Structure 1
């Protein structure tokens, strides 16, 4: 009457009586036929866990791709700065500007100084030093990623041409030396 060895052992030990063993075996057969077992619940839980893990993995992968693209963009901008910077800038004219919260001073020649004041050249961060770049390149760099261009006087020159300014007729030159 007993269908498996475990039930036979439980009967011999006296832990289960004959009626209870029959009832358990009938219940197991019924679950096999109808599929009412909790296997479907377990399978659904496993599938749900798989979907959650897949979504988490995709989110991590997207984050990694975004970080990689940002690193590639930074490397491309650094390469553009190093390729297009003006090299012969040493001179005896000092130019001061603000980098983050510190005032920096560089010595440049008069031609570079005039171009910086006019706005045709900009100062960009080149690692730990500074590079002098043409304004068109600086605009391209700023459109891709901001934070590399430190000094752009062309924006200041455009902002000061206010028509309602009472002192508009009294222009003070930017290259005034004290």
Structure 2
């Protein structure tokens, strides 16, 4: 149809043949350029500055993640070394007697544990001058000096210490408050 309109305009004398050819060539040129530009836009590589920025941001995030992982690893290593030093100190200063015959019961979590002690150790435990320290699945008797060292090294370390005020203070509504427990009774 474009040829018929072109021909009609040429026949009417409105335009000359050179102008018609020039207009058709410019239209083809514009169409070709627009096709080239749309093809470039579709296949154009991403903006190199944004790729560099994304790469730099990814690198900084990776460095931050690595620092955090290293910090956590170092903390875990320090905790492990502290635990090993405390276990060694407790084991080296333990006063457990293999010939002890008096059972001393204490509560650990939901369980009642039993540790055999001598009469002197039992009195010291009741007086609060000795404590029971768990290391792994074993329990060791330690003296007050070692107990203080362990508490300074790690305040969260569990130590089982008998406190006299806990057992001797009767509750206000205790129906057995008037009955004394004999001193020679051991539980």
The interval holding the TM-score normalised by the smaller chain is 0.5 to 0.7
Show the counterpart of 2:157: 147
Are 1:124 and 2:133 an aligned pair? yes
Structure 1 unpaired stretches of 5+: 1-16, 28-36
Q: Write the distance in 1 (CA, Å) between the matches of 2:147 and 2:183.
A: 21
Distance 1:64 1:173, change over 3 A: farther
Hey, what does 1:4 align to over in structure 2?
none
* TM-score, normalised by the number of residues in structure 1: 0.66
Number of residue pairs matched by the alignment: 146
Q: Which residue of 1 aligns with 2:164?
A: 157
Aligned-partner Cα distance in 2 for 1:174–1:143: 34
Correspondence 1:89-108 to 2 at 5 A:
90-108=99-117
Aligned to 2:89: 80
Give the TM-score, by structure 2 length. Answer: 0.63
Q: Classify the secondary structure of the residue corresponding to 1:53.
A: helix
Tell me how far 1:161 sits from its aligned partner: 8.8
Q: Report if aligned partners of 2:131, 2:161 keep a CA contact under 8 Å in 1.
A: yes
Give the Å deviation of 1:177. 3.8
- Give the match for residue 33 of structure 2: 20
**Counterparts of 1:139 and 1:174 in 2: how far apart (Å)?**
28
Change (3 A) 1:174 1:55: farther
Structure 1 residue 176: deviation in Å? 3.4
